Each structure stands twice: as structure tokens, then as C-alpha cells.
């Protein structure tokens, strides 16, 4: 196998960061293909916890080239901060060597953040619950052919023309909403300075990756968010603004779809969601609180409490099918210790009373989950490193889920640290 992808099969926060960090050991390249610094991937190693937002999760592995593909939207101010933070912690980030960023990445500017807030406020009661980081407005400008790109930062003429093209449209909108106009010369100066800083890293990453693939180098694609947040195939409009599923890989990297040999679909042993939108197996009240506390379910980017619920085999089957997952990685199995029974949603009852084994993406807000219950386990399993050493109820739970979704669980995670994992 040469190239693989790690993708989340839920609404994000599945624990992809840890798994990418783990699998990057066998990779030459780790590549982000979508999203922006709204993503937050948590890595824990030797007691140290760090959250990466734009920098790919292979950064702790010597010899791995970390690539921000063209499908990612980059806030250059944030990137400078994230790189400085890594340097301060002693990470060896060498621009142009183990860190590359596509010259085609669209830029998230401060005005996009302002417009994100304006748009969210206008939604009133129908808020999407965005991270407010300007990601949506940046993708909108990309589609509207207004965007500035990473390569423009080092090309003064393109930068000036691009800013003019953008501001002629945005300044009247900002003013109409009582926000300050953006001064082109000030912004241009700041961006040029950042361009000089990033210059060694800015390159044609599509070419780099295609050439690496031709040499049979191992490339690991790092999914951000999750399949159910995909702008096309997720629970629209409560989604992110990019193709977070594996559908986004070719467009977001410049590689052909066939370049990916294996897709790892990451799921938690239960379900969480941040922000608004339908969530059939969501728990309320005390039970939700218990699961949230046990799993420390607070967003790594926003700190918001995550909504929590039982495992949804219907949703996961849909996401696995859509993303072509060949094996499942189950994280947070340790969190379920002490919950008994363990319900798994195996079908939905639709609004008209009929039963559906399939995920009705448009009518998800009208379904009622149908559960199958499994016996729980009480043991602390955070120290277990072999499947056969898990309590029989935990093994049974994993096998029941495998049977239901028809894909093997190849990796099980029982804690945040890199070594709290077992292969099967």
C-alpha cells in the first residue's frame, strides 16, 4: 500500500489527529486537503498535549513532509501564530523542507471573519454554529472568483490587483453592516510581510505530490471535520463549506482519485456533534452530561460543549460507503466504561412510521432511532493493549458494530496518548 486517507465518519472530532500522528510513522507525506483553522486536531504524547489547526499531524515525525494542499483555506495571520507556537515548543518546523503550503490555497482574511459573524447573526434562530473563523466566507469568495491565494503573497502586482477586486465588493458590504472599511495599503503591507516569511514553504504542492506518488512514496491524507459535515453529502445547511469527505481529496490536492489505496474511517465508540443540525441519537439531560464528562467532550477549537449520543450504525454506514472506508478505527472505547446497557442505533423510524435502514440525508430531523442494546463493561480499559485482553462485553460491542456496518474495526483507541491503541 502506498497512499491512504484518514477521514472522520461522523461530524468531526472523532480523534483523527491521534490516528494520523500514529499512522504517519509509515508515511513520507502527510497532507491536509480541506477546511481551515476551524479544524483542531489534538495530539498527546509523553504527557504533552497540543492542538494543531492548520499544520498537518505528521509534524512530530522526523522525515515526514507536511503539506497544506490547495483545498485548504489558510489564514496567514493564524498560520504565523501556529508556526511560532510550534517553534516555541521546540518543534522542528523547516519551511520548504518538512512544511509546504500550496500556492493555490485561498486566503482567509480578517474581513472574512467579520463577515462570518455578520452572516451568523443574520441567521437569528437558525444559526449553523460555525467556528466564526471566516472559513465559509472564504470558500464563498473562492467560488465567486474573488479570492486571494497564497502565491499572491509573494507577487506584489497580483496581490494589489486581487485586493482591489475583493475590496471593491466587500467594503460596501462591511459599511452597510456598520463595520469598518478595510484599508488596502495597510492590509497589503501586512500580507507582503507574511508572504516573505512563508516564501520558502509556498510551492506547487500538486506537482510535488504527483511526483511523490509516481515514485511510490507513501502519502497520508489528513481529513478535517467529518463526512457528515461535507458540503455536498452532509447534513446541509448544517455543514462545513468544503468537501470534508474523501470526495475532496482530488480537488484539494491535485492528485488523481485512484492515488488513494486505503481509507481509514474514524468513529468514536459513541457519537458527538458540535453546533446545530440534526442528530438522531442525541442524549439529553443527565445521561448526556455523564457521557460529555466521561469523554471530556468540549471542542478543541472553540471549547464549546459537544452534543453527545449513542453510536449510530445507520449514519456510520452511510459515511463509510460514501467515503469508501475499507477499515474502521474506533476511538474513545474507554469512555464507555460504566455505561450499561450500550445502545446502538440500527435503523430509523421515519416520520410516516415506516422503517429505514438507510440514512435519509434530507429528512434526518424527522427520524426516531431504533436501538439494539448490548451489555456494558465497568473495567478501566485505558491500559489494555490487545483486543483479547478487553472485557468480553467490550469485544462483543466492537464485533456487533462491525457486523452491523459490514467493515472490520482494525484499530481501537482507549485513551488520548499515542500508545493507547490496539491493532487487530
Q: Is 168 helix (H, G, I), strand (E, B) or coil?
A: helix
CB 266 within 8 A of CB 19: yes
Element at 267 (helix H, strand E): strand 262-268
Is the sign of the CA dihedral 405, 410, 411, 414 positive or negative?
A: positive
Q: Which of residues 127-186 bind ligand GDP (CB under 6 A)?
A: none
Residue of 24, 38, 42, 114 that binds ligand GDP (CB under 6 A)? 42
Site for ligand GDP in 308-337 (CB under 6 A): 331-332, 334-335
Q: Which three cell numbers mark 151?
A: 502565491
- Contact between 16 and ligand GDP (CB under 6 A)? yes
**Closer residue to ligand GDP (CB): 142 or 306:** 306
Short-list 327, 274, 223, 251, CA closest to 8:
223
Q: Which is nearer to ligand GDP, 111 or 330 (CB)?
A: 330
From the list 73-81, 187-195, 252-260, 411-419, the region that binds ligand GDP by CB under 6 A is 411-419
Active site residue 365: no
Which x/- pattern over 289-308 shows residues binding ligand GDP (rule: CB under 6 A)? -----------x--------
The string of DSSP letters for 279-336 reads -TTB--HHHHHHHHHHTT-B-TTT-PBPEEE-EEHHHHHHHHHHHT-SEEEEE-GGGG
Candidate ranges 11-19, 167-175, 234-242, 363-371; the one touching ligand GDP (CB under 6 A): 11-19
For ligand GDP, the binding residue among 4, 11, 13, 346 (CB under 6 A) is: 13
- Cβ atoms of 424 and 328 closer than 8 Å: no
As measured in angstroms, the least distance from the Cβ of 256 to ligand GDP is: 26
Tell me if residue 282 falls in helix, strand or coil. strand
CB atoms within 10 A of CB 388: 9
Q: Does 44 bind ligand GDP (CB under 6 A)?
A: yes
Output 163 or 231, the one with its CB closest to ligand GDP. Answer: 231
CA distance 118 to 132: 10
Binding mask 203-232 for ligand GDP (x = CB under 6 A): ------------------------------
Compare residues 66 and 332 and give the one whose CB is closer to ligand GDP. Answer: 332
Q: Does 415 bind ligand GDP (CB under 6 A)?
A: yes
How many helical (H) and strand (E) elements, i.e. helices and strands, does the chain have?
11, 20
Respond yes or no: is residue 216 known to be catalytic: no
Distance CA 61, CA 48 (A): 15
User: Which sequence positions are flagged as catalytic?
Assistant: 13, 41
Please give the residue ranges that form the binding site for ligand GDP (CB under 6 A). 8, 12-18, 40-42, 44, 300, 331-332, 334-335, 413-416
Amino acid at each position: 500500500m502506498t497512499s491512504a486517507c484518514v477521514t472522520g465518519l461522523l461530524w468531526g472530532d472523532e480523534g483523527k489527529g491521534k490516528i494520523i500522528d500514529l499512522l504517519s510513522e509509515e508515511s513520507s507525506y502527510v497532507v491536509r486537503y480541506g477546511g481551515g483553522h476551524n479544524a483542531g486536531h489534538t495530539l498527546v504524547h509523553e504527557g504533552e498535549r497540543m492542538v494543531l489547526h492548520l499544520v498537518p499531524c505528521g509534524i512530530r515525525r522526523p522525515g515526514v513532509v507536511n503539506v497544506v494542499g490547495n483545498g485548504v483555506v489558510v489564514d496567514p495571520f493564524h498560520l504565523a501564530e501556529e508556526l511560532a507556537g510550534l517553534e516555541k515548543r521546540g518543534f522542528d518546523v523547516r519551511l520548504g523542507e518538512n512544511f509546504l503550503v500550496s500556492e493555490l490555497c485561498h486566503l482567509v482574511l480578517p474581513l472574512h471573519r467579520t463577515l462570518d459573524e455578520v452572516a451568523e447573526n443574520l441567521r437569528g434562530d437558525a444559526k449553523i454554529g460555525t467556528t466564526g473563523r471566516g472559513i465559509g466566507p472564504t470558500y464563498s469568495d473562492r467560488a465567486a472568483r474573488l479570492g486571494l491565494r497564497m502565491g499572491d503573497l509573494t507577487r506584489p502586482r497580483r496581490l494589489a490587483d486581487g485586493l482591489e477586486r475583493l475590496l471593491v465588493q466587500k467594503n460596501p458590504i462591511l459599511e452597510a453592516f456598520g463595520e469598518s472599511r478595510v484599508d488596502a495599503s495597510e492590509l497589503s503591507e501586512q500580507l507582503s510581510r507574511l508572504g516573505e516569511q512563508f516564501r520558502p514553504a509556498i510551492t506547487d504542492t500538486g506537482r510535488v505530490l504527483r511526483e511523490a506518488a509516481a515514485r511510490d512514496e507513501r502519502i497520508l491524507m489528513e481529513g478535517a471535520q467529518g463526512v457528515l459535515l461535507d458540503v455536498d453529502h452532509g447534513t446541509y445547511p448544517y455543514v462545513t463549506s468544503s468537501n470534508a469527505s474523501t470526495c475532496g481529496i482530488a480537488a484539494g490536492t491535485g492528485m488523481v482519485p485512484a492515488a488513494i489505496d486505503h481509507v481509514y474511517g474514524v468513529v468514536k465508540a459513541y457519537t458527538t456533534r458540535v453546533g446545530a443540525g440534526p442528530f438522531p441519537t442525541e442524549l439529553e439531560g443527565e445521561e448526556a452530561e455523564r457521557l460529555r464528562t466521561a469523554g471530556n467532550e468540549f471542542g478543541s477549537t472553540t471549547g464549546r460543549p459537544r452534543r453527545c449520543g449513542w453510536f449510530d450504525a445507520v449514519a456510520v454506514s452511510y459515511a463509510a460507503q460514501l467515503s469508501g472506508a475499507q477499515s474502521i478505527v474506533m476511538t474513545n472505547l474507554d469512555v464507555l466504561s460504566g455505561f450499561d446497557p450500550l445502545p446502538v442505533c440500527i435503523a430509523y423510524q421515519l416520520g410516516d412510521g415506516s422503517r429505514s435502514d438507510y440514512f435519509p440525508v434530507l429528512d434526518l430531523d424527522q427520524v426516531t432511532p431504533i436501538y439494539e442494546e448490548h451489555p456494558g463493561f465497568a473495567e478501566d480499559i485505558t491500559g489494555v493493549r490487545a483486543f483479547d485482553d478487553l472485557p468480553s462485553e467490550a469485544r462483543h460491542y466492537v464485533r456487533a458494530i462491525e457486523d452491523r456496518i459490514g467493515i472490520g474495526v482494525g484499530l481501537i483507541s482507549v485513551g488520548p496518548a499515542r500508545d493507547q491503541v490496539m491493532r487487530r
